């Protein structure tokens, strides 16, 4: 029988995505490994490959559709000997509506109403959870008076398919267990931070404005940062770091590396300095894991990269073991692909520590929000010439950079955070030691 192609989970945390583009059309033949579609998650656009060979019998979800849940049927694949006549009525369910919306709006016809009526709304079991069934299986069950809650699905991920309900009748179907006593009402969810959308819009009635819908990335950023500020006990440590020795050393290295096309940035030195500091203060190289801490051995350092509409934090793994030129090349590659939203999930997930550098925008200093589950993030400001008092007591001029370490107090205590920031400062003020 025809095979349903399901919306894939392209990362461990993905629950829904946007079907950005189809690379195939109905009637096309595909083989394993062929690119069929582009799927947008909250962070990246990734190519979706065919697993089996066959012919695209029907496309159920149009390209550009947002909020497509993982494991939703997006197309039908026909094997040898099968034709479009074998598909039956396969109206595709629309992405699930918000909780306040009527659940009956879940099913939307793939064809015009004159050609196909909508499939029955997605049923729910006695526990209130949605029962996953193909549109055709739902229709057959409705026609036969069969309760889908009594059927065990044989399709992918337990999905109920046509074969599971064919031949059954209401009398033959297993009887549902008696309904459980009504549970106590669930406690009301905490209100969202800030006023509701309607209230805010009412404030600006009569004023000219442009309403901008949130894409998946902005929604994720908003949710994660709200969670971070509400649930992580932040505290902040600040140090001034003199950069003159580093700037001189960087200039000398770049002259030597010019023939290789390598040009090191100050940020490359900062990445290396943080990676080595995490090794010299290993208790700070840790993340919060709910009811425990995970103390990492390698220095996996994330670096914030601004892109249109949001930001990524690609992770440079084993940064303590890599040369400055290797870190520079890897960072340039990650940043370039981040801006094109072409990073794979494993390239921006993980790490124990992050760096956010706004110095190139002229920001002197700022406090960064920790990206959970990281234990800390370093906020880097601009290098500015300032009067300083030298070790000999003489007044001089130095290029000074302000660095602020935001720390998760559950993972790192004050003294330990101070040791980590001191180690970062020493590495940057004595750059030659980072090559040892």
What strands, in cross-sheet order, belong to the sheet with 29-30? 3-6, 73-78, 54-59, 29-30
Residues in the chain: 436
Separation of alpha carbons 366 and 364, rounded Å: 7
Other CB atoms within 10 Å distance of the CB of residue 21: 15
> What is the rounded radius of gyration, in angstroms, for the C-alpha atoms of the chain?
28
- The per-residue DSSP string of 141-166 comes to HHHHT--GGG----SGGG-B-HHHHT
Residue given tokens 């894991």 in the structure block: 289
The whole-angstrom separation of Cα 14 and Cα 217 is 12
Sign of CA dihedral 353, 360, 246, 255: positive
Q: What is the DSSP letter of 270?
A: H
How far, CA to CA in Å, does 195 sit from each of 192, 222, 298?
8, 15, 43
DSSP state of 117: P
d(CA 250, CA 399): 14
Q: How far apart are CA 365 and CA 158, in angstroms?
A: 53
Active-site positions?
A: 409
Instruction: Check the CA dihedral 325-328-334-340 and report its sign.
Output: negative
> Which residues lie across from 411 on neighbouring strands?
none
Judged on CB neighbours under 10 Å (0-12, 13-18, 19+), 104 is exposed
CB distance 84 to 52 below 8 Å: no
Phi, psi of 114, rounded to the nearest 5 degrees:
-70, -25
CA–CA distance, 434 with 331 (Å, rounded to integer): 18
Q: What angle separates helix 266-280 from helix 414-429, to the nearest 10 degrees?
A: 130
d(CA 162, CA 242): 70
Structure tokens at 16: 């829904």
* CA–CA gap between residue 265 and residue 281 (Å, rounded): 25
């Amino acid at each position: 029988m025809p095979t349903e192609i399901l919306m894939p989970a392209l990362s461990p945390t993905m629950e829904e995505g946007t079907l950005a583009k189809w690379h195939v059309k109905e009637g096309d033949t595909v083989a394993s490994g062929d690119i069929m579609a582009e799927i947008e998650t909250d962070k990246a656009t990734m190519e979706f490959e065919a697993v089996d060979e066959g012919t695209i019998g029907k496309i159920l979800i149009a390209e550009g559709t947002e909020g497509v849940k993982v494991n939703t049927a997006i197309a039908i694949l026909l094997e040898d000997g099968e034709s479009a006549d074998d598909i039956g009525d396969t109206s595709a369910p629309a992405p699930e509506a918000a909780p306040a919306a009527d659940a009956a709006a879940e099913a939307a016809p793939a064809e015009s109403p004159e050609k196909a009526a909508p499939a029955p709304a997605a049923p729910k079991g006695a526990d209130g959870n949605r029962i996953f069934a193909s549109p055709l299986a739902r229709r057959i069950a409705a026609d036969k008076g069969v309760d889908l809650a009594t059927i065990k699905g044989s399709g992918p991920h337990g999905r109920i398919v046509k074969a599971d309900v064919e031949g059954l009748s209401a009398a033959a179907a297993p009887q549902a267990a008696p309904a459980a006593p009504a549970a106590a009402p669930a406690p009301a969810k905490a209100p969202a931070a800030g006023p509701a959308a309607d209230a805010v819009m009412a404030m600006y009635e009569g004023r000219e404005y442009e309403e901008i819908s949130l894409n998946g990335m902005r929604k994720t950023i908003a949710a994660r940062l709200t969670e971070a500020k509400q649930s992580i006990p932040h505290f902040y440590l600040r140090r001034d770091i003199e950069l003159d020795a580093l700037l001189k050393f960087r200039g000398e290295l770049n002259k030597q590396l010019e023939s290789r096309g390598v040009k090191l940035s100050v940020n490359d030195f900062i990445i290396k300095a943080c990676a080595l500091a995490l090794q010299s203060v290993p208790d700070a190289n840790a993340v919060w894991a709910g009811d425990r801490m995970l103390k990492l051995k390698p220095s996996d350092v994330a670096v914030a990269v601004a892109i249109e509409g949001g930001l990524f934090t690609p992770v440079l793994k084993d940064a303590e073991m890599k040369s400055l030129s290797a870190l520079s090349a890897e960072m340039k590659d990650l940043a370039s692909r981040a801006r094109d939203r072409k990073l794979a999930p494993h390239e921006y997930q993980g790490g124990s520590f992050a760096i956010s550098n706004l110095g190139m925008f002229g920001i002197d200093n700022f406090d960064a929000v920790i990206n959970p589950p990281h234990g800390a993030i370093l906020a880097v400001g601009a290098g500015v010439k300032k009067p300083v008092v030298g070790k000999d007591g003489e007044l001089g001029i130095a290029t000074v950079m302000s660095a602020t370490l935001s720390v998760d107090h559950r993972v790192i205590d004050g003294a330990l955070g101070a040791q980590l920031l001191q180690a970062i400062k020493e590495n940057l003020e004595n750059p030659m030691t980072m090559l040892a």
